[in-house]
A and B are shown apart, each in its own frame.
Chain A
Amino acid sequence: MKLSQTSRSRITVDTSAVLARWLLGAGFLYLGLSKALDPVGFLKLLRQYDLTQSSLLLNSMAAALPWFEVFCGLLLLLGIAVRGTALTLMVMLVPFTGVVLHRALLLQAVQNIPFCAVQFDCGCGSGTEFICDKLLENCLLILLAGWLLAGHGRQSSLRFNLIKSSPR
């Protein structure tokens, strides 16, 4: 009886992890495509962060980031190199969330409004959003990526580990 409860909860966790992988994959596919289909719009939004003065660097970021997200989204949907992809997404998401937060604080100071009333298009692909919603959304994405990074979501994956470990 105890064993069946354990295996049932394991099945629930496994199923949830696969759903999380698909959700994260579909999310990045959607967000990436929405930016890739309007690269000039994304370039303008990216420019507002004043990340660099080099037009080559700015253009490269605006050109590559949307398609990179599409690529990562596809890998997660198919279940290829899941943990490596999750780590890559976290490496992208964490600093970008910081940059969005910094801009929101700047806007809050200029507009003199409560933090959660700050609203702008962060260039994430989801249009104009309230900053608190955006930060929650990013935290959720980071948590999901972290869960996959921990090794969950193996079911229905084509090649969970890209690099096979050699037996000792």
Chain B
Amino acid sequence: MKDNSIQSGVPTRSLAIRQIFWEAVIVGAIGAAFAFAANQLSPLGLALTRDYFPAGSAHSVRPAANDRLPNTFGTNAEILSPAQFLAAQMKEKGLQLLDDSQAARLFRDPRFKQDIIVFVDARDEEHYQQGHIPGAYQFDPYHPEKYFDTVLPVCQKAEQIVVYCNGGDCDDSESAAILLRDVGIANQKLYVYGGGITDWTTNNLPVETGARNSGNLRNMNK
């Protein structure tokens, strides 16, 4: 049987390549339009012009606990431990870093009960519900508009505000602190608890699940 594909209109190789190329261009163009429209319509969609990371560049690779990092912060020491590196990074952004014992001390301070000392949890709803520092206010820096009404008046009255997230790689606490500073909360009141909820639970400190002041206290390690 004779192959009459060319006569019947099956394209030659170069024509086929061109067709595939233009098909890909059309798919790309319609796909991009679809994608941006879907993002716009989605209630979870991102605002394209917003700076979601006011804290600056990503910690692209997490240093190991025993790593020594080059000092780029203008202090005298040439090599910094991860904790010193984090503290220097915070200082560069105008933020103050708290360690585990300082955070625990503020939590036990009687002024905490009076909202003179306030804890702010910079994680998302799901993680907050799973367990947060008892009495901490939620303030997700990726959806700040949802929380400003509750958190801003409290922060304005407070004398010390401790912002935390997961700890380690997480810099959402820095973003949240910078957002609060940008809307007028005094910088000297803002502290970032670098160890975050990970160190908090590791130190067997109490954790509250569900909503703020739900009374459901537990120790996440038990």
Q: Using CB atoms and an 8 Å cutoff, list the residues of chain A in contact with chain B.
A: 36-40, 43, 47-50, 53, 55-56, 59-60, 62-68, 70-72, 75, 81, 83-85, 87-88, 91, 103, 106-107, 110-111, 149, 161-163, 165-168
Contact = CB atoms under 8 A, between A and B. Distances in A.
Given A56-B49, A59-B50, A110-B67, A84 B61 contact: no
Q: From DSSP, what is the main secondary structure of chain B's interface residues?
A: loop
B79 interface: no
A163 B19 contact: yes
Nearest 6 CB-CB pairings of A with B = A84-B23, A167-B9, A67-B35, A64-B35, A63-B39, A67-B38
Interface stretch (B26-34, B89-97, B113-121): B26-34
B interface, size bucket: 35 or more
Interface of B: 6, 8-11, 15-16, 19-28, 30-32, 34-36, 38-39, 42, 44-53, 57-58, 60-64, 67, 124, 142
Given A55-B51, A67-B39, A88 B61 contact: no
B140 to A, nearest CB: 9
Contacts of B16: 165
B23 A161 contact: yes
Given A60-B48, A63-B45, A72-B31, A50 B26 contact: no
Given A63-B39, A88-B27, A149-B20, A55 B64 contact: no
Given A47-B53, A83-B23, A64 B39 contact: yes
A59 B28 contact: no
A59 B24 contact: no
Contact of A161 (B19, B28, B35, B39): B19
Contact of A59 (B15, B46, B62): B46
B9 A59 contact: no
Contacts of A83: 19-20, 23-24
